[in-house]
Structure 1
Amino acid sequence: MGYKDQIDLLKLPEHVAIIMDGNGRWAKGKGKLRIFGHHNGVLSVRDVVEGAGEIGVKYLTLYTFSAENWNRPSFEVTAIMELLVSTINKEIKKLMQNNVRLNAIGDLNMLPGKCHKELLGAIEKTSANTGLVLTLALSYSSRREIMQAAKNIAAKVERGELKADDINEDVFAQNLYTANMPDPELLIRTSGEYRISNYLLWQIAYAELYFTNKLWPDFRKEDLFEAILDYQKRERRFGKTSEQVN
């Protein structure tokens, strides 16, 4: 019996976030350039999105390009941006067929003009879809997101739109990039690294963390199903005791 057959569809995590790590090491292990790993990582994205849609996950958020990634060699950054544009163009038809709504978070104005335009166009084309919400975290930094949220709230207080005493967790969350999404309940990281890497730091406060040694280009929907099955075996207490939860 495969992992998919063992999953309780009534206890799915509503939102799964993934740190897609290991493309470069995967390529290096095969004697190839790092971009070769990024190209093959696209196949994993396609398979995992399909798998998430199959079982009914509502939100899937992928750490696609961090704000710190701009510091990589310029030829690699350029290649990744070109790959992003070509991938969006190739996948838009399949996204429409599978009722997937594309979304993006991060400092999107940092993206090259053509990349930004293609991304916004794809988001608009899929905006009426009602299935899986696929969010790409691009030029994303969680610390910057939190800092910007604090600035937005401070500005509202200065304008008299908000009182300091009115600021609570809900107000703060509504000023984050993810304002219209539930917090992730499961965070997956590939490649055997045990770091969060400045990803959704506010949102994953109570997420279950799942680490796998598989490099991202080797990760497939069956690996996603295995992670979800592991998630379903855990006891989520949110500060309570086992007796209270049960």
Structure 2
Amino acid sequence: MEKKYRKAKVTSKNADRFEKILLYTIEFLNKYKTQLIVTSSVIILLVLSILVYTYIKTSNEEKAARDYDIALLTIQNITLMTNEQEKQQYFQNEVNRLQSLIQNYPKTSAAIRARLFLAKLMYHNFVSSRSDEALNIAISYYSAAFENSSKPFYKTIALLGRAQCYEQKNEMAKAFEDYQLVATRYKTEGFTPTALIGMARSKELINDVNTAIEIYKKVVTDYPDSLWAMFARGKLYFYSSQENK
């Protein structure tokens, strides 16, 4: 009988505790129901906003990628055409498509690739025409690609392209700075030997031969198996032979 009484007593305590918790919960909900409703609404709106943003971003990426693929495929097949006027018309249409892509979906990966493509196109235009305007447009495309991309690889390609343009403009300090960024901040992208050669060349072109020699030595020491190491050795041999004359 004693055991049964104790068990009943414990059960009664649990019931009282549960009732108190329930009453406290009801009281809390009644007291803060307005705040809870507002907070819940904010959370729901936030979740919905994230879902909508993700959907739009994914949709934009797909649309931009489609336009980019169409443009590149058409440009590649233009060489099959025999009518020169038709070639020019189709080519200009696809350039316009890429420009529209950049304007409509500026932050997408396809827009970054489109900028890099158009920059290279304008650089080749400069090489054939020696047009300063074409070179400046190429620089603007490379700069936009660098600024809008979140991927180190695209940033690296943009810097290398822009540095090449700066060399053509004889702005060696800017070229050196871009090459240096590739060799330091973006060294994991695999273009460091190329960037170091660019840095050395930039110094050579302003007759800073001593700095150029040190950079060539770094290429040979740090990247002995790279294709650029052979070129650097040739440069070092040339400068060494000049000193011995």
| TM-score (normalised: structure 2) | 0.28
Q: Greater RCO between the two (CA within 8 Å, min separation 6)?
A: 1
More strand by share: 1
Larger Rg: 2
